Amino acid sequence: MKKFRSFFFLLILYLRNIAVAVDQLINALLGGDPDETISSRCGKYKHRKICYMICKFLNKIEYRHCEKSIEIDEGKREVLRL
């Protein structure tokens, strides 16, 4: 059982890492900092219409998702403001 739990934990961690990497790739393609997720970027700019809509959707999946995802130390390499 412990081996299965360990495998399951590693699988979830692996899938989460891939999801974060894809999220950051999409953010970079949209002119954002390649080390920042779309959720963090939109959490900072939620007064912008596109971010407001993205956060409204994500906040239905997880309460205050965008606000909780903000990475204060990221965003310095942003090329375009949303």
Interface residue list for Ca ion (CB under 5 A): 35, 74
Cα–Cα dist 49/45, whole Å: 9
78 SS3 class: coil
Which residue, 6 or 17, is less far from Ca ion as judged by CB?
17
Tell me how far, at minimum, the Cβ of 60 lies from Ca ion, in Å.
24
The one-letter amino acid at 25: L
Owner of token pair 């959720």: 39
Tell me how far, at minimum, the Cβ of 3 lies from Ca ion, in Å.
32
Q: Which residue number is nearest to Ca ion in terms of Cβ?
A: 35
The one-letter amino acid at 12: I
Tell me how far, at minimum, the Cβ of 34 lies from Ca ion, in Å.
9
